[in-house]
Structure formats: structure tokens, C-alpha cells
Structure 1
Amino acid sequence: MNRKECCSICSREAEDGIYLLKLYICQDCEREMIDTPTSDPKYDFFVKQMKKAQRAMIPS
């Protein structure tokens, strides 16, 4: 039985994904991030989400 994790990008629970350092990224977001050109406004969204998730990992 697969365990569901919360995606650091879209905040949905998913069974299939990857860990980038300690950040979980679902398979859908991973694919979309890879396929999104830097000129697409969605690219900025992904960058902001990664920064936000990274900051959440840093202890206060």
C-alpha cells in the first residue's frame, strides 16, 4: 500500500512523486515543472512555491 504525501507545490496529497532534499513534489507537478518554459508565467509560480517550501524547511 502506497503512502500519500502532501506536495510542496500544489498542496495535494499524492502517492507518486519525488523528494528533492526534504521537499516532496508530486508526479504531476514534477512533469509540469519540467515541461514549463521559462517564458511561461507558470514558471514564476513554480519558483515561488519552491522558495516558499525551502524557507519552511529552515528552522527558526
Structure 2
Amino acid sequence: MDELAEKKCIICGEPKTEGIHIAAEFICDACESEMVHTDVREEKYNFFIHRMKQIWVEKNV
């Protein structure tokens, strides 16, 4: 796979080139950074949890 190819981030849905892969899914650098700096008491935390669940839900269908 071309490392510079754009991939769709499972968190923001935007095509990006830089990020990480978890299983076969992609999370862009911006979303990864925001996730690791989000406190568990923030509303956005639940959004991230919901989006991350998609990694396993889509694989087990």
C-alpha cells in the first residue's frame, strides 16, 4: 500500500495521509492527538469511544 495515499479516518471521516492503523482501520494524527488529550469527563470522550467501537463491530459482522 502506498504510504502517501489518503485514507479515510474512522473518527473524523476525512481523507488524510498521516496517522495510525488499528486492525484494518485508520485514525489520522489530528484525531489521535485529540483523543489522547481528552479527559474521560468531557462529552467528546463518549464520541471517541463510539467511533473506536466501529473497528471491531465492522470486523465481526
**TM-score scaled by structure 1?**
0.87
Distance 2:14 2:55 in 1: 14
Superposed CA offset, 1:2-45 (max 9, x none) = 10000011111000000012221000100000000101000000
2:35 aligns with: 33
Checking the alignment, whether the CA contact within 8 Å between 2:21 and 2:27 is kept in structure 1 is: yes
Q: Which structure 2 residue ranges, 5 or more long, are not aligned? A: none
More helix by share: 1
Task: Report which stretch shifted further, 17-26 or 39-48.
Answer: 17-26
Moved over 2 A (4+): none
Checking the alignment, whether the CA contact within 8 Å between 1:23 and 1:54 is kept in structure 2 is: no
Query: What's the % identity of the aligned pairs?
Result: 31
**TM-score scaled by structure 2?**
0.86
